[in-house]
Chains A and B, each alone.
Chain A
Amino acid sequence: MNKKTKNILGIGIVGILILYLGAVSFSNALSFYYEVGEFVTIADTFNGKIVNVNGTIASGSTIWEPEKARLTFNLSDNNGTITVVSNDGMPGSYKEGIPAVVTGYFVNNTFQATMVVTKCPSKYGGDLDHGEHNET
């Protein structure tokens, strides 16, 4: 085996190793992502596995316990609702009626969130206020 072949072999082995390690870490880092309506039908099958659920924070559902830094709210869409509990304080830009993605696991009919990410929609704050007599 000449030097060039050895070098190419060495680089090839390193390349395959990187690909293998990349594939393993990739599969470990993957988590499923569902809409609330999809999730409620299969929630019990996850057995505490980490999952992401997307929905809208339901109006009037927020319970904020500052002493415990605990936030409880309902996440819903047209097809279902789940109760989410987060013990990690108030997430940035939290507001009822806006979309959020919660990451965590489902136990005892409650979604224990390890992360709550509120999306920042382009039309922040909803429709524009027309006022009473300002139509032009």
Chain B
Amino acid sequence: MEFGETLLTIALILCIYAAIAHILGIWKKKNELFDSARAAILLIGVLLTIASLWLFNLFITRNFQYEYVAMYSSLDLPKVYTIAAFWAGSDGSLLLWAWLISIYIAIIAIRGKSYDNLIKHAMLVILPTLGYLIYMLLTVSRPFRMLDFMPVDGNGLNPMLQDPGMLFHPPTLFWGYAGVLIPFALMIAGIYLSDETWIYRARRWALWAWLGLALGNMFGSYWAYTVLNWGGFWGWDPVENASFLPFLTMTAFYHSTMIQERKSGMKIWNIFLILFTWELVVYGTLLTRSGIIASVHTFGQSVTAPYYINYMIVVFAATILLVAWKYDSIKSKKILESFVSREGSFLYNNWIFIVAAASVLWGTTYPLLSEAFRGYKVMVGPSFYNQINVPLGIALLFLMAICPLIGWRKASLSNLKRNFSRPLLLAAVAMVVAFALGVHDFYALVAIVAGSVLVISTHLIAISRMVTKQKKTEDKGFPKNLSLAFWNNRRTFGGYLCHIAILMIIVSATGAVVYEKTETFNMRVGGTYSVGDYEFKLTKIDQYDKNNKQVSAALFDVYKNGKLVLTDSSALMYHYLKQDNTNVKPMAYRVGIDDLYFSAQAITSNSATVKLKVMPLMFLMWIGGFHVLISGILISLSTKVAVRKNRYNIGMEDINEL
């Protein structure tokens, strides 16, 4: 048997063994069985790591006798992309997913102290799932399948995937996909055992998965902007939607778990949120790996679709049955005394995310349903998603402004006046000033001006109150008070940073859409062309070879108010020799607050047809999404939330390990 498949087969046997050992261990109450199962789990992690390294090795050594390697690499493919080719196809992606799950459970198994009853039961969800993925890797989605001949060369990697984004977008997304399994499994175990502490155990894993999903979506967006020549950061492509959906429901889940922790409410809601998140992860994989929806980057037809669909049906049915069986033990306490309260703001937040997710799911799935049940194919254009999600984004902005200051239980009129009169006044003044300065667009006034002022001011007020509280406890001077307030409230600060990141993304998207200026010119060398406040002078055409492609470059000097602000900026086209096709490589350069976006449509020896865009505020999207959002999640991740002892009758030491 082939080496990689041998490793996978042993891993599958160990999965089955570990699952049986868990069942017997729980049944017979024998701890030694768990010790042996944990050893098996560790070994699964080691085996899948070796199998993955083996696949990397096959790509790096360009062993084309392996069908998967031959399909996704070639002799002229730069080495760095032979690594990324690992997850260029469905088989490798599945291996990556299984590998990451195996690492996560190995980490859980190695930390014996936290290997309690809840996690033992959760393993009975994780291990069969992992075993199922490994079974698929051995039967219908085989990365180690060997050909009965040695091809002269491979087919090469799709040129659109030959970009540094390919190194980061799929792995981060699968890091999130794999991570979602853990809170889902803890939820199932929690319901079965009537152990509500699952929500605490799931928190940091949910954050970890959320971090991966956030990174995956941001890398995807950046890729769309700088590689796919969509001329924007998001195209509502079905596969983009597939990765966005679990991010939306996971965001809702993370917020509503805070209500369960604090108020013992929204329990059923949380169960369904994490169930849907996991189902959407599998659904996303189905969409991207089975090719059932026409998209720019689905992986063609495959036979794996029934496997994903069957799994989804089983998981959904089993969870519903379990919830029905244990319904009495998972009833929530009533949490909502008033719609004008902190609890209410969490509820609205969840509704916004759920409506957004439902609209995206509907738009993405409808073409499938139409074809299956009505017999004709349709496509859903981006206008549907924008018309639903733009107002929701604005509503979210105002909710973010309200949530740090609104009172718990029931916000009184005096509470509202005390907390919001100054931010509202400030926002009103800012809108008047902005209008007088020429900002007349509704969305710009509402989202960029009012939204920013409200969100920033309410968050600053909330932070200042934390510092004041710290000062009252022990005044150590402002810098120390601030740092202590930060340290003692890391989870809240992390959340606030995430809010600021979302604000930056919404402001950036609004600025780029409302104030974007676009022109397409057929240019001659030496000619100057104006877009907005900028003048673009085509200085020369350059043509040269680079790695496995021929590059055509139109080079520009850019002037603003007669002053040179950018030199040798370029619009590029790549011609890939192996695949004999030409791709546009869009280029974006930041000048002040503007992105100057170059997208070549044609380049000849002395002329170029280039689409030029000026997109204000785009830089905020990348700073917000990559730096602020990620920092916020990491800061939140650094905190442990102790179980409220009076609510659940268990020891804290059991909990704080995860």
14 contacts between A and B (CB under 8 A): A26-B366, A28-B384, A29-B381, A31-B378, A33-B367, A33-B377, A33-B379, A67-B604, A90-B584, A93-B583, A94-B582, A122-B90, A123-B71, A125-B155
Known: A54-B294, A122-B302. A89 touches B584 (CB 8 A): yes
- Chain A residues near B297 (CB-CB < 8 A): 120
Bits for A115-134, please: 1 = Cβ < 8 Å to B, else 0.
Answer: 00101111111101111001
* In the assembled complex, B292 has its CB within 8 A of some CB on chain A: no
Q: A89 and B302: CB pair below 8 A?
A: no
Q: A26 and B380: CB pair below 8 A?
A: yes
Q: B149 and A89: CB pair below 8 A?
A: no
Q: B149 and A90: CB pair below 8 A?
A: no
> Is the contact region of chain A dominated by helix, strand, or loop, or is it mixed?
mixed
**Bound form: Cα–Cα A125–B583 in Å:** 15
* In the assembled complex, A46 has its CB within 8 A of some CB on chain B: no
Q: B384 and A25: CB pair below 8 A?
A: yes
A8-38 at interface with B (beta carbon < 8 Å)? 11, 18, 21-22, 25-26, 28-34
**B300, B600, B601 pick with most chain A CB within 10 angstroms:** B601
Known: A29-B380, A92-B160, A125-B156. A135 touches B149 (CB 8 A): yes
What number of A-B contacts does a CB cutoff of 8 Å give?
164
- Chain A residues near B328 (CB-CB < 8 A): none
| B152 interface neighbour in A29, A94, A123, A134, Cβ under 8 Å | A134
Q: A67 and B609: CB pair below 8 A?
A: yes
**Bound form: Cα–Cα A13–B480 in Å:** 50
Q: A129 and B153: CB pair below 8 A?
A: yes
A63-110 at interface with B (beta carbon < 8 Å)? 64, 66-69, 88-90, 92-95, 101, 103
| B377 interface neighbour in A7, A34, A124, Cβ under 8 Å | A34
* In the assembled complex, A45 has its CB within 8 A of some CB on chain B: no
Output the nearest chain B residue to A89 by Cβ-Cβ distance: B601
Q: A22 and B604: CB pair below 8 A?
A: no
**Bound form: Cα–Cα A64–B157 in Å:** 25
Output the nearest chain A residue to B578 by Cβ-Cβ distance: A125
Bits for A31-54, please: 1 = Cβ < 8 Å to B, else 0.
Answer: 111100000000000000000101
* In the assembled complex, A136 has its CB within 8 A of some CB on chain B: yes
Q: A92 and B70: CB pair below 8 A?
A: no
Q: B522 and A69: CB pair below 8 A?
A: yes
Q: A21 and B159: CB pair below 8 A?
A: no
Given A92-B160, A128-B155, 6 further pairs, Cβ under 8 A: A64-B602, A95-B581, A119-B298, A122-B301, A125-B579, A131-B151
**B65, B152, B160, B229 pick with most chain A CB within 10 angstroms:** B152
Output the nearest chain B residue to A18 by Cβ-Cβ distance: B355
Known: A69-B520, A90-B602. A136 touches B152 (CB 8 A): no
- Chain B residues near A52 (CB-CB < 8 A): 379
Where the two chains meet, the residues of A that have a C-beta atom closer than 8 Å to any C-beta of B are: 7, 11, 18, 21-22, 25-26, 28-34, 52, 54, 64, 66-69, 88-90, 92-95, 101, 103, 117, 119-126, 128-131, 134-136
* In the assembled complex, B9 has its CB within 8 A of some CB on chain A: no
Q: B155 and A124: CB pair below 8 A?
A: yes
- Chain A residues near B159 (CB-CB < 8 A): 92-93
- Chain B residues near A129 (CB-CB < 8 A): 151-153
Q: A119 and B294: CB pair below 8 A?
A: yes
Q: A90 and B160: CB pair below 8 A?
A: no
B140 to chain A, nearest CB (A): 14
- Chain A residues near B355 (CB-CB < 8 A): 18
* In the assembled complex, B376 has its CB within 8 A of some CB on chain A: yes
* In the assembled complex, B268 has its CB within 8 A of some CB on chain A: no
Q: A123 and B158: CB pair below 8 A?
A: no
* In the assembled complex, B382 has its CB within 8 A of some CB on chain A: yes
- Chain B residues near A89 (CB-CB < 8 A): 584, 599-602, 609, 611
- Chain B residues near A30 (CB-CB < 8 A): 378-381, 384
**Bound form: Cα–Cα A66–B376 in Å:** 37
- Chain B residues near A130 (CB-CB < 8 A): 149, 151-152
* In the assembled complex, B363 has its CB within 8 A of some CB on chain A: yes
Q: A124 and B71: CB pair below 8 A?
A: yes
B571 to chain A, nearest CB (A): 11
**Bound form: Cα–Cα A54–B597 in Å:** 30
A14 to chain B, nearest CB (A): 10
